[in-house]
Amino acid sequence: MNRILFAGGGTAGHVEPAWAVSEVWHKRHPGDEIAFLGTKSGLEVTLIPERDGTLYLIPKVTAPRKIGFPALVFPFQLINSVVKTISIVKRFDVVVGFGGYVAGSAYIAAALLRKPIVVHDQNAKVGLANRFGAIFTKEIAVAYQNSGLSGARVVGNPLKRQIVNLATQSDWSAARANAKAEIGVRGELILILGGSTGSVSINKVISEINFEGRTVIHSLGKANDLPEATSNYRPVSYIEDMATALLAADLVISRSGAIACSEFAALGKYALFIPLPIGNGEQALNANELVAAHKAEVLAQDDFTATWLNQNLERLLKQGTPEPLGTSLNAAEQIADCIGRVI
């Protein structure tokens, strides 16, 4: 029996790909032990237990981006996190990292224990943790060409089984009509996604819009209070059945996280992406292929206002075509192959 530890937490953009790969591995090797590594502040604290997964928690360590007190205490926080991570990693045969807060500590622990490592990066611009983890392995997979890791296999992003299953449609108009019927929507549907943890700025703009009879499904994030629902406005904390929601939507307004872009490429009609203006800068790049294919446009957060949306909503709703752009549907299987090569 092999023991596989998946390290990727914080947001759904790290948790969902790890889960997708774990499902493929479990199907191939049902007797193997599978577990996940996360922090108590990440979305994995709810998502993994809800799906009956095993989750180990370590202290969260955030790499400082400028000189100051956080930079002074960072080495001590990292040492503390690595020590606790070693006590977990030593029980496993391989660490499969997906970036995010937990991956850095997991890579260091695995390297010190001489455990094999597999790295997957979801973004158009590789994050710091995965750049570090890639030093210790040849099994590196990425979602985008020219993402910055030499020798990496371009496999795309692992997607939920429901999305993969629905992405092989032959009649997209009928599929979209069926999806609307399934969730009880008549007429145009606008899907608002602020990322798995929510977006204060997007939520504020949406709260100021009268969508004039159109149905709106608004995912506000698990950490945010839900506003009052109306007959055409449906606020939710998190969308588990993203496949049906994307199929039904005439327009998606969303952050441009890597998984959001890949899921939309598989099933979406048209999108307005508002990149998160902080971090590694990857969100400004993730939607480039969709924009080039005229399936989406990108707007800076400062420019996304209620006035702008009121002036452009009709135009955005007219842009989409039933057929999605398409994306890789076997990334999870290819990453599982990477795991098999190091065990």
Structure tokens, 94: 């391989």
pLDDT at position 78 is 80
In this predicted structure, the answer to whether residue 68 has a pLDDT above a threshold of 90 is no
Backbone angles phi, psi at 254, to 5 degrees: -155, 155
Domain 161-317 architecture: 3-Layer(aba) Sandwich (3.40)
Domains 3-159+329-342 and 161-317 in one fold: yes
DSSP state for residue 173 in the 8-state scheme? H
Q: Which helix (H) or strand (E) holds 36?
A: strand 33-38
Longest dimension (CA), the chain: 60
Global model pTM greater than 0.75? yes
pLDDT at position 65 is 66
pLDDT at position 60 is 86
In this predicted structure, the answer to whether residue 10 has a pLDDT above a threshold of 90 is no
Q: How confident is the model at residue 212 (pLDDT cuts 50, 70, 90)?
A: confident
Instruction: Please name which of 76, 58, 79 lies closest in space to residue 5, comparing C-alpha atoms.
Output: 58
pLDDT in tens, 13-55: 899 999 999 999 999 999 999 999 999 988 899 999 999 999 9
pLDDT at position 123 is 95
Strand order in the sheet with 33-38: 55-57, 33-38, 3-7, 94-97, 117-121, 140-142, 153-154
Residues sharing a CB contact under 8 Å with residue 55, sequence separation 6 or more, in sequence order: 35, 36, 37, 38, 44, 45, 48, 49
How confident is the prediction for the chain on average, in pLDDT?
A: 93
Contact of 226 with 237, CB cutoff 8 Å: yes
Q: Domain map of the chain by residue range?
A: 3-159+329-342, 161-317
Q: CATH topology for 3-159+329-342?
A: Rossmann fold (3.40.50)
Can you tell me which residue has the tokens 């009879």? Answer: 213
Strands (E), 156-303: 189-193, 215-219, 233-236, 251-254, 271-273, 296-298
pLDDT at position 196 is 67
